[in-house]
């Protein structure tokens, strides 16, 4: 079966209640888009946004979760809490979490299990730094990170992989289509080896890092690119829908 593309917006630490109008425009346009749509606002907005999107195809997600379902973890949110707020998915292991909070591949794998436990899809991020790319280490780094971050019980129905080169996030720089093709084909092969053909072929692999309306079509032309994880260009409906429209 063909993989349906997913365009997911990562609002990061942006957005207040006043952003609801922008979000409503995304909800309104979602039925006309050729792909699945997900918006991951800050946790403070999940509940409101999920209510506003109810009944339509656009889904709302979280940006991180704790591995445990509850307990003495001040400031943290469990996957169950996100689900209870109306989230259907959660981004796990974003490079900003890995860098700012020291998250290891093992932590990311635990969080993926937590997402599934709560009935959420896990969007698991991997990506090389610029130094790793420059030293020719990209595929080794990605192999290690993918194996460590994606539990072997992952299935296509509840897991999405996002390839996000760290040096392309928020920089306006993107890899060439050849570089994206090389990585996505490699990740596809690795998933098939580890998870078997059915799950490995069925699992969506998103590209993320400076995706915008003007470069989305070229990026989506790459064979194993099944959508995008969009940061900056997901904050405005016109930009986000410009990416989704060509998916
Ligand atoms: P960007 O962020 O689109 O602003 O580069 C992507 C991401 O961090 O998911």
Q: What is the pLDDT of residue 2?
A: 83
Q: What is the pLDDT of residue 129?
A: 98
CB atoms within 10 A of CB 143: 15
Q: Which atom of ligand 1 is nearest to the CA of 230?
A: 3
What are the 10-residue block averages of pLDDT along the chain, 247 residues in total? 92 98 98 98 98 98 98 98 98 98 98 98 98 98 98 98 98 98 98 98 98 98 98 98 98
Closest CA to 27 of 63, 3, 60, 61: 60
Q: Read off the pTM.
A: 0.98
How many angstroms does the Cα of residue 41 sit away from the middle of ligand 1? 13
How many angstroms does the Cα of residue 72 sit away from the middle of ligand 1? 31
Question: Which of 98, 130, 209 to probe ligand 1 with, by most ligand atoms within 8 A of CB?
Answer: 209
Closest CA to 6 of 237, 245, 226: 226
CB atoms within 10 A of CB 72: 6
CB atoms within 10 A of CB 154: 24
Residue closest by Cα to atom 3 of ligand 1 = 231
Residue closest by Cα to atom 7 of ligand 1 = 231
Geometric angle at alpha carbon 6, from 3 and 215, rounded to 5°: 110
- Cβ neighbors of 35 (< 8 A, separation 6 or more) are 4, 5, 6, 7, 227, 244, 247
Q: Is ligand 1 within 6 A of the CB of residue 210? A: yes
How many angstroms does the Cα of residue 228 sit away from the middle of ligand 1? 9
Q: Which atom of ligand 1 is nearest to the CA of 91?
A: 9
Rounded to whole angstroms, how far apart are CA atoms 100 and 45? 22
Q: Which atom of ligand 1 is nearest to the CA of 171?
A: 5
Closest CA to 127 of 40, 208, 63, 204: 208
Residue 130 among the catalytic residues = no
Rounded to whole angstroms, how far apart are CA atoms 200 and 111? 20
Closest CA to 64 of 123, 116, 14: 123
Residue 66 among the catalytic residues = no
Report the half-sphere exposure of 32 (CA within 13 A, side-chain side).
8
């Amino acid at each position: 079966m063909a993989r349906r593309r997913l365009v997911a917006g990562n609002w990061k630490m942006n957005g207040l209640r006043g952003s609801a109008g922008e979000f409503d425009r995304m909800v309104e346009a979602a039925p006309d888009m050729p792909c699945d749509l997900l918006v991951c606002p800050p946790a403070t907005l999940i509940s409101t946004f999920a209510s506003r999107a109810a009944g339509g195809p656009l889904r709302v997600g979280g940006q991180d979760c704790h591995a445990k379902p509850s307990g003495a973890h001040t400031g943290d949110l469990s996957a169950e809490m996100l689900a209870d707020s109306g989230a259907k998915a959660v981004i796990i292991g974003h490079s900003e979490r890995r860098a700012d909070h020291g998250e290891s591949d093992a932590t990311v794998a635990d969080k993926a299990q937590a997402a599934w436990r709560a009935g959420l899809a896990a969007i698991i991020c991997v990506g090389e730094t610029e130094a790793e790319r420059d030293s020719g280490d990209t595929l080794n780094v990605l192999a290690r990170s993918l194996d460590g971050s994606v539990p072997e019980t992952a299935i296509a129905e509840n897991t999405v992989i996002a390839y996000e080169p760290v040096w392309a996030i928020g920089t306006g720089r993107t890899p060439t289509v050849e570089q994206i093709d090389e990585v996505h084909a490699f990740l596809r092969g690795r998933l098939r080896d580890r998870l078997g053909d059915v799950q490995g072929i069925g699992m969506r692999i998103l590209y993320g890092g400076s995706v915008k309306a003007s470069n989305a079509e070229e990026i989506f032309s790459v064979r194993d690119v099944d959508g995008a994880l969009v940061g900056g260009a997901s904050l405005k409906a016109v930009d986000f829908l410009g990416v989704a429209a060509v998916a």
